[in-house]
Structure 1
């Protein structure tokens, strides 16, 4: 059975892939099929997805949905058994083997590869930084184009700076989209020389004809002098109307590379035929950010794609210290250019008689879709099989869905209640029982009050720093829910087996991330304990101080409004994401942007909002038992019923879709069974999400209806988006759906 490096083997080497370009995406796919034991792979990119250059003009023209051109980097890293850190590199020390991110985080590496692309920013053009839109990076351009199309104005002129293939192709696509949507405005291409240099005369003639047909105005021998919000000023004094100015006038290297000590050629990283930097055989570069010393080539995606198998082989050879396995990259001298013409037509240019028309578009479309399918239909980790003679029940257990991370991995409410029923009551006067709450109230001899709680989570991300932020926010939820102020915390860390320098780095990342959040809340990390196990698991014991009576589950009043400060659905998203992608299984159901947004929210503390809710009649954080389970606890303790509106429930983006496909967290059946007879029957994804376990969930509070609008405004200023989801009512402790 092929197994992943992080799951079955201790990690001894760190490979950093800096940038989610096409070459690295293909390397990750190959890694998913053939991982290298002992290697921890990390992809670093600020975005959860990367735009595929081949389909961007088609999307701009309106021929594809946005999701069609997004390479899901989070899905790729998961399939490869790699970790993904969403960040932007801004310094590299190849001698010390350290990479710094823009947030100050420093990562060690044994081998590093750059695939960070280029920018088409125009720093020397006045006003461009404020009003212009670089054509690269592609994702940023896609966002700007969507914003432009979403304006209320029905018209808008566009100026494209640069008359190469990329600029003309974009101009044709934009003109087609504006015409299709019935918008007024002219798209103009501004080129300092003549357009389409490097393209054959026949292909140029076809593209010029397409421009004429779409009303694209080509302005040659013209140079821009200034960009404003409404126009483009040329050096000869002419003003060109332009509500959007796009820079496509050539590739610029990223400035921060100049401080790395790497050999650069016009700002691009110089590499040899092995795709390595000459001075540092452990540093590689590919794609547009690299300059091939022996065989310089234009910045074209075809080279990046063909570099992937060579880079994959050479990374493995270097990590294994097997120089005899290194391969040379030999780029082709001529390559096929397939250029979109705005409409569903394209030009094929490779030195032969030029081909053009609708059938060339279909040819290009098949090539592009095949490439994207290769990066979407990802291999899945095979499930272990029970050996012959295994104990009864093992095969069925192995056939179950994988155990979830976060709160989805916890013991169900039935088993937990049965275990807690065996715990004898304390006779200590300084410990106040709080039935149903997940924390203890401890009173000091001087009358002081402390809340003590503990929680731990099976990792939902292999980014240790991000997981630490999620885990500490999750643990603080019990303190916040009882109206206390965080004071201190102890960490409990289980690290996967890895080399000692990697362990030291992971512990430093975890403690620094947790301490940062605690410090912002006025608390401190005061120590902890660590051990080595099979996977990353983080827990925190937290202490909070109280200057008033605690907010418990038992104080709810009839007529109280039930408010929720965070969407639900984290459990189903995390469950869906961890099951991976593959043909016929979970394909495309958890999108990288949805998962990234979820993880960022789970790592965001909400102490300021909790402080505003310290006068709530009853309150709890929504975690492992799901919204319905925690609401039922309030109803039981307050001896009241509840009316709950399914339509009002706030949901994490993508959660309803994933739940509708039948995905469930490991603990979901136990959560549902625990509420039989206590909640109204229902069906559909929204109903099922009532029992979805939440990791680092928000607060569920029962508050008076009076002053609710003012409270909501205060909570929004505190950084949360509160939603009224129902109310408490007289009657039995049951939940009625309304």
Structure 2
């Protein structure tokens, strides 16, 4: 983003449906300067429903279905808000996100698909599973297949709904179960009316033949009155025994839409030919959640795909005052329906054809669509000027992009040399603790801890950035055994209009206020400015009842405890490059967002303690060693890594601070460990909002670990303090 161009308009997308995914991809290739994008979705991945039957049948792995919304959002320059939209205020132009609060918009687009949930059917919510949304269904299906394969569950399924989707799923499920068990699968499809309505006669015949051949039973004019743990109970009291009851009966709108004042048709959002809501020029809708008032069509993904270019153009027109395009959907389209195995039938215009090669054709179409999101175009990096100062090319080659978070910090060697050269002033009220990031003031016998920290933005979501930055800054207070007291906030915003400044500051202060209040601290002031990018920092104070815990004080024989897994640096570096899995990124953000208050309470008897941040685990262990005059042993196999971090390190990914951390630490390390191995390299990975590292007597460590387990915190022993000279040995 060009820092000279201010952000002036907020475009918010609710849902990661097919239309939105294609719009975001196109936006990444042709962004509109001045527009700030937000994508709201409860999941970091959006499934492509066209490949669902193939996944259920075992032809595709689960990951083949997923559009990685984290990568896509980064490519489009959008922030991803992981949450579920539950409300809309059209007057205030705000979306309510469950567990998050309100997000303002200038233009809003909704593409949330449909659900096949049957909440009105007694027992379904407890014992059944809807085929849509795909995420929960896919997880439930994988567990059911495993239970059948292990003989824990009988291969019995009831599918409610005999439309094309229900029959296609039934055939796929039968095919898969037949591969994992010797018992004959029993799959029953129920429909309150006639099955396979809306399909051509040839298609119906082909699907019915496939069901008969597979042994899938179709029961028409029959619907369940209840779902129990034993299966589907029929209106006449009969029972269809099933370990899995799947709802696939029709397209149902999401219930929260009915609680808004949006104009609806049977629960779906009414839009005109430009895809704008019929009575609101600031809101668009596309995909299955939209009702095309000018050209009603059945619910099908092809319409969302075809609508995407029109939606992109009209959003740009809405932001620039340009002319709107009309969306004219085709009257009919080719449907390729899979038959369980690698066979398919084609349906169009009332005619069904089953010919050799239909499955390969469907597979090619689906894979080509997904490839659009697997291989996002590499955006060119501006070339350096022809003439640059000596050393510029080498520096840029080593670090093409400076990481966000603690990966952007200055290396530990340069900082420690600078601190040692500062003049010393004798003040009785300032207590110097060697090697600590925080200072301690003696105010009439009351010990007050004082610390400051800030983070270069590593995600585009100011709300989540503020939460992580606040917890990160509080880490020094908690590490010294103090209770948080007060905070000052320092905010640098990228250039934006005053209206967006107010919106952004409101999100930051709400999030920071939640964290500080939860820690018992009051935000008492702060400063704001505009700059090239977002940077958030806090100056924090805390009060100590007893002596503060510093990095000095570790004793030979002490146990080393770590309260969070490591790997945030490499994950954030890979995410910035668009090379990290979305689930991995979101998992790391959840860990960074976790308060250290419970850990600090449990580790209150530590002899030495620090929070693990920019200098990496090895650097912080060595800080304790140098200040305490001791050595340390780390059991490399016991050091926990965040999910995905090891694979990224093995792939050669590194944070921009990694090399400086390694150079500093390796000078004080023995020759143990497999240099280059992911577990070894993780020791130098800079952490953002990392866990606490404590040196404790063995008996106190046992009690602390037990207390942390009771809090649901997986803290671990990673080594011990030795009577060797300051240094680090790997075991």
TM-score norm. by structure 2 comes to: 0.97
Aligned 1:190-209 pairs, distance under 5 A: 190-209=190-209
Aligned 1:241-252 pairs, distance under 5 A: 241-252=241-252
CA contact (8 A) 1:609 1:719 kept: no
**Structure 1 partner of 2:686:** 693
**Shift, 1:401, TM fit:** 2.4
**Structure 2 partner of 1:563:** 561
3-state DSSP of counterpart to 1:282? strand
**Shift, 1:127, TM fit:** 0.8
- Asked if 1:482 is matched to 2:472, the reply is no
CA contact (8 A) 2:403 2:573 kept: yes
- Asked if 1:32 is matched to 2:31, the reply is no
Q: Within 1, Cα distance between the matches of 2:700 and 2:464? A: 37
**Structure 2 partner of 1:101:** 97
**Structure 1 partner of 2:550:** 552
**Structure 1 partner of 2:189:** 189
Q: Within 1, Cα distance between the matches of 2:25 and 2:13? A: 13
Aligned 1:123-522 pairs, distance under 5 A: 123-151=119-147, 153-182=152-181, 184=183, 185-322=185-322, 324=323, 326-351=324-349, 354-356=352-354, 359-399=357-397, 400-445=399-444, 447-522=445-520
**Structure 2 partner of 1:680:** 670
| Matched residues, number | 723
3-state DSSP of counterpart to 2:586? helix
Q: Within 2, Cα distance between the matches of 1:379 and 1:397? A: 26
CA contact (8 A) 2:459 2:465 kept: yes
TM-score norm. by structure 1 comes to: 0.96
Q: Within 2, Cα distance between the matches of 1:538 and 1:525? A: 14
Q: Residue 662 of structure 1 is aligned with which of 648, 652, 669?
A: 652
Q: 387-396 vs 288-297, which deviates more?
A: 387-396
Q: Residue 671 of structure 1 is aligned with which of 661, 674, 678?
A: 661
How big is the alpha-carbon RMSD for the aligned residues of Structure 1 and Structure 2? 1.5
Q: Within 1, Cα distance between the matches of 2:664 and 2:283? A: 55
CA contact (8 A) 2:609 2:695 kept: yes
Question: Do the aligned partners of residues 462 and 154 (structure 1) sit closer, same or farther apart at CA in structure 2, a change above 3 Å counting?
Answer: same
Q: Within 2, Cα distance between the matches of 1:606 and 1:242? A: 46
CA contact (8 A) 1:646 1:737 kept: yes
Question: What are the Cα deviations for residues 136-172 of structure 1, in whole angstroms up to 9, with x where unaligned?
Answer: 1111211221232344614242111101111111111
Q: 154-163 vs 629-638, which deviates more?
A: 154-163
**Structure 1 partner of 2:528:** 530
Q: Within 1, Cα distance between the matches of 2:669 and 2:340? A: 56
Q: Within 2, Cα distance between the matches of 1:406 and 1:380? A: 24
Question: What are the Cα deviations for residues 266-286 of structure 1, in whole angstroms up to 9, with x where unaligned?
Answer: 010001111111111111000
Aligned 1:693-712 pairs, distance under 5 A: 693-706=686-699, 708-712=701-705
**Shift, 1:260, TM fit:** 2.5
Q: Within 2, Cα distance between the matches of 1:635 and 1:356? A: 73
Q: 22-31 vs 596-605, which deviates more?
A: 596-605
Q: Residue 606 of structure 1 is aligned with which of 585, 596, 606?
A: 596
Question: What are the Cα deviations for residues 644-679 of structure 1, in whole angstroms up to 9, with x where unaligned?
Answer: 111111111110111111111111111011123311
Q: 523-532 vs 144-153, which deviates more?
A: 144-153
Question: What are the Cα deviations for residues 182-209 of structure 1, in whole angstroms up to 9, with x where unaligned?
Answer: 1644221111122211122222222222
**Structure 1 partner of 2:607:** 617
3-state DSSP of counterpart to 2:617? helix
CA contact (8 A) 1:384 1:398 kept: no
Question: What are the Cα deviations for residues 535-564 of structure 1, in whole angstroms up to 9, with x where unaligned?
Answer: 110000111110011111121122211111
- Asked if 1:723 is matched to 2:713, the reply is no
3-state DSSP of counterpart to 1:281? strand
Question: Do the aligned partners of residues 715 and 169 (structure 1) sit closer, same or farther apart at CA in structure 2, a change above 3 Å counting?
Answer: same
CA contact (8 A) 1:383 1:398 kept: no
Q: 108-117 vs 727-736, which deviates more?
A: 727-736
**Structure 2 partner of 1:650:** 640
Question: What are the Cα deviations for residues 193-233 of structure 1, in whole angstroms up to 9, with x where unaligned?
Answer: 22211122222222222223333221111111001112110
CA contact (8 A) 1:564 1:699 kept: yes
**Shift, 1:382, TM fit:** 2.1
Q: 195-204 vs 70-79, which deviates more?
A: 195-204
**Shift, 1:709, TM fit:** 4.0
3-state DSSP of counterpart to 1:237? coil
Question: Do the aligned partners of residues 55 and 183 (structure 1) sit closer, same or farther apart at CA in structure 2, a change above 3 Å counting?
Answer: farther
CA contact (8 A) 1:385 1:395 kept: no
CA contact (8 A) 2:12 2:39 kept: yes
Runs of 4+ in 1 over 6 A off after TM superposition: none
**Structure 2 partner of 1:71:** 67
CA contact (8 A) 1:15 1:40 kept: yes
**Structure 2 partner of 1:583:** none
Question: Do the aligned partners of residues 623 and 196 (structure 1) sit closer, same or farther apart at CA in structure 2, a change above 3 Å counting?
Answer: same
Q: Within 1, Cα distance between the matches of 2:635 and 2:63? A: 32
**Shift, 1:392, TM fit:** 3.1
Q: Which runs of 5+ in 1 are unaligned?
A: 581-585
Question: Do the aligned partners of residues 310 and 378 (structure 1) sit closer, same or farther apart at CA in structure 2, a change above 3 Å counting?
Answer: same
CA contact (8 A) 1:385 1:398 kept: no
Q: Which runs of 5+ in 2 are unaligned?
A: none
**Shift, 1:642, TM fit:** 1.4
3-state DSSP of counterpart to 1:525? strand
**Shift, 1:427, TM fit:** 0.6
3-state DSSP of counterpart to 2:637? coil
Question: Do the aligned partners of residues 352 and 243 (structure 1) sit closer, same or farther apart at CA in structure 2, a change above 3 Å counting?
Answer: closer
CA contact (8 A) 1:386 1:398 kept: no
**Shift, 1:456, TM fit:** 0.2
Q: Within 2, Cα distance between the matches of 1:104 and 1:620? A: 31
CA contact (8 A) 2:556 2:630 kept: yes
**Shift, 1:707, TM fit:** 5.3
Question: Do the aligned partners of residues 232 and 183 (structure 1) sit closer, same or farther apart at CA in structure 2, a change above 3 Å counting?
Answer: farther
**Shift, 1:381, TM fit:** 3.3
Q: Within 2, Cα distance between the matches of 1:277 and 1:352? A: 32
